[in-house]
A and B are shown apart, each in its own frame.
Chain A
Amino acid sequence: MTQRPVVQMKGISKYFPGVKALDDVSVDIYPGEVHVLIGENGAGKSTLSKILMGIYTASSGEILVDGQQVNISSPSVARAHGIGGVHQEFMLVPWLNVAQNIFLNREPRWKNTFLINHSAMHRQSRELLSSLGVDIDTRLPIRRLGTAQQQMVEIAKALEQKLRVFILDEPTAVLSAREVELLFKQVRRMKEEGVAIVYISHRLQEIREIGDRVTVLRDGKHVTTCPLSEVTDDELVRLMVGRNISLMYPRHRREPGAEVLAVANLCVKNGPQNINLKVHSGEIVGIAGLVGSGRTELARAVFGIDPIEKGEVRLYGQPVKPQSPNQMVKRGMGLLPEDRKQYGLALRNSVAQNTVMASLRQRFPKGIISERKIHELAGTYVEKLHIATPHVRRTVGYLSGGNQQKVVLAKWLDTESGFLIFDEPTRGIDVGAKVEVHTLMDQLVQQGTGILMISSDLPEVLGMSDRIYVMYEGRIVGHFTHEEATQEKVASLMLRVGVKGNGRAQRTAG
């Protein structure tokens, strides 16, 4: 690398109350490289990227842009230096339309006025989106879009800014394979134009495909920076976690027991149609499919969130009509939702309060709550699930993604439900936490729980499931046992490869 780095971070530290998020981290970023940041959750990757973007300011250390020391005190300063990007939390305004969001605070004006030129804004937005290969109506409010589409709008918004340093913080967590491919095409194009790309991801495979150099962070400290070609996956994992962990899926297979859930001919309006499936005690049943294939909608209907149009549901052999989550929890069902921040946790409440959220009545049948008992109880889960938190009174919102997910898990463990739905249980959490979640799932089924697992991570579906259903456009299009299933078989059904479709597959993915 003969060029001068576009950004140099020297000795960056960042303290939050009670936590040292970054400790003396130095990284140089060169133009025309994809610089990958990896590390476990809580390692400081997002904090580092937020400091670059001006969302946080560093407690100490300095940042140089083009060799000049700068003080990135706010996002607008960062942008003035050509630094920006996409973070994990969507920076979109729900009731503004797609074009307004893409051009947020950079709206094209009519000549010599302060009035926004809507037609130019929509035209340019359409061009940007089509360069990304997606077809979204720019007049729709963001609220009406799915998560993947919102992510594409975020990316379009960043592209529009013509950045010199483009930060992507786990951009692919919610995207389908096709959209990831489109994104990577853009990333490669930008790289050729000399843009420096900072890429944060947990997916090793993806990093291999796109990355040039890698910086590993662990517990807020810089571990190493080197070209990706010089490290193996196993080495990367070891550097990240500081110990050897197995990348294998920890499963102990057993004979399935009695039926816990049976769904027959289930239909949801504008959602899954004619669904038939069964889950038994002691087995993990996986559902594979693209984003938008109706998997989450199926889970929501069975859990009583969305109304069921027709069909039957049996829980522990008893027919039930799911009408509310409240009723289903009482009957012994739990759901770890896809979007844990919105549906899984009360982010401003403590770890302890979240842990007993679903089991309070069970724990205190008389209706009188003992704070001390709740804290003790939460303490046992913190220990058992290795939840990294200074104490159980800590606000859940301050924990890292993996630890938040463990708190959701603790909440359902405490209800002692015999049937749990896991919707994307390991999305956006690091390798170490992922293995821990998988181990827990295995322990649960050993004890006789039945699990229905929705996942977009194909190796996870294949590795963890005893049986696999494949969904496509709201229908179940395939069923495999663990022994029959291969990556090729499941993926080709998911994508309907070789089936002459009506073009809807593409739309679902876009």
Chain B
Amino acid sequence: MVELKGRQVSLGSIPPVIWMTLFLIVVYSIFAPGFLSGRNALNIAIQAAPLFVVSIGMTMIILTEGIDLSLGFVAGLAGVVTSLMLQAGHPVALAILGGLASGTLCGLVNGFLVSIASLPTFIATLGVGSVAYGIGLIATGGRSIPALQESFRFIFQGSVLGIRMPIVIALVVFGVTYVFMHFTAYGRNVVGLGGNPQALRTAGVNIELARLLVYVYGGLLAAVGGLMVAARTASGYAAAQEGWHFEAIAATVVGGTSFREGRGRIANTILGVLLISVLRNGLNIAGVHNMYQYGLIGVTVVTAIVLDVLFTKARDR
């Protein structure tokens, strides 16, 4: 037992995802020289920011007992749209709006298919993702489009008062979403859609609209994440974030959000994103080839989920 702000916190009540992250930090500190430094910590935060933004949307969708398998491609498409608009000489603000609009539109289509047309979320979002990817490929001929405008890169990668923009964006998105989830009827709807949609319906909530909006918001956040990456790499590329749905789902589930009954919270997803980001960063520093990284991430994520399930069972007993 540890005394913390007058509350008794037992070591056993700390979720396994934190233990695993600490474990990785210790291992990397020994085997990956340069890992343990303030600068690298900042690096991890900056690298984690886009995934965190996307994972917030994913967490909300999973809370409604849905899933979104299009987010990675939607993010890629947003980067492509903005890059193409910049290349065509449109003002930066308009290009960014264009990118965000493309993500929102994809989210709207997802939401329409899932909520109004009642398709299974799996199929609907898989289809929309494939279409988004296809459009991105056709629009670019499969090439990466440069996005070099300084003001664009500044908005998503620069720093304000010494704080890097990715961190600012992630915190703002988190803050806004947090307030919405905990202090507005909309957040309560998200949890209710997963838990007992009939209860919401009898309470007079338009559940179709509520469900649709979750996907729209998810699409918008995917676009924000996509633009953050486009600014970092100074380019838009359709396949830039193809692994993101897996990582976003993994971060959500590792953070303890359940696919059932609307159990979980967006704050926990930070922990899942951190685990994945620390793992990635350390592997890069240790010089592990990208080829091996997929497998190792998979193993880590599954281990974390198994530990979390065992932990939850033991605690609820």
**Segment at the interface with B among A4-12, A15-23, A93-101:** A93-101
Q: B109 at the A/B interface (Cβ < 8 Å)?
A: no
List chain A residues, Cβ under 8 A from B264: 95
Within 8 A of B (CB), among A59-81: 74-76, 79
A90–B202 Cα distance when bound, in Å, is 11
Known: A93-B199, A94-B262. A105 touches B184 (CB 8 A): no
Q: B276 at the A/B interface (Cβ < 8 Å)?
A: no
Known: A96-B188, A96-B191, A115-B183. A104 touches B200 (CB 8 A): yes
A55–B201 Cα distance when bound, in Å, is 9
Within 8 A of A (CB), among B184-211: 184-185, 188, 191-192, 194-196, 198-205
Which of B191, B195, B204: most chain A CB closer than 10 A? B204
Binding site for A on B (CB under 8 A): 179, 182-185, 188, 191-192, 194-196, 198-205, 261-264, 317
A48–B200 Cα distance when bound, in Å, is 21
From the candidates B179, B182, B185, B191, name the one contacting A93 in the complex (CB within 8 A): B191
CB of A91 within 8 A of CB of B188, answer no
Q: A53 at the A/B interface (Cβ < 8 Å)?
A: yes
CB of B263 within 8 A of CB of A100, answer no
A107–B192 Cα distance when bound, in Å, is 14
Q: A162 at the A/B interface (Cβ < 8 Å)?
A: no
CB of B261 within 8 A of CB of A53, answer no
Binding site for B on A (CB under 8 A): 53, 55, 74-76, 79, 89-96, 100-101, 104-107, 114-116, 118, 143, 269
Give chain A's interface secondary structure class. Answer: loop
Q: In the complex, what's the smallest C-beta–C-beta distance from B261 to chain A, in angstroms?
A: 5
Q: Which residue of B lies closest to A89 (CB)?
A: B198
A114–B204 Cα distance when bound, in Å, is 17
From the candidates B179, B184, B195, B205, name the one contacting A96 in the complex (CB within 8 A): B195
Q: In the complex, what's the smallest C-beta–C-beta distance from B179 to chain A, in angstroms?
A: 8
CB of A95 within 8 A of CB of B317, answer no
Q: Would you give 8 A-B contacts (Cβ < 8 Å), ordered by A? A: A55-B202, A91-B196, A91-B199, A92-B196, A94-B262, A94-B263, A96-B188, A101-B199
CB of A95 within 8 A of CB of B184, answer no
Q: Which residue of B lies closest to A87 (CB)?
A: B202
CB of B200 within 8 A of CB of A115, answer no
CB of A94 within 8 A of CB of B184, answer no
CB of A75 within 8 A of CB of B185, answer no
CB of B262 within 8 A of CB of A95, answer yes
List chain A residues, Cβ under 8 A from B204: 74-76, 79, 105
A151–B32 Cα distance when bound, in Å, is 57
CB of B202 within 8 A of CB of A91, answer yes
List chain B residues, Cβ under 8 A from A74: 201, 204
A92–B195 Cα distance when bound, in Å, is 8
What 10 new A-B contacts, CB under 8 Å, besides A106-B203, A269-B317? A93-B196, A94-B195, A95-B195, A96-B188, A100-B188, A104-B188, A105-B204, A115-B179, A115-B184, A116-B183
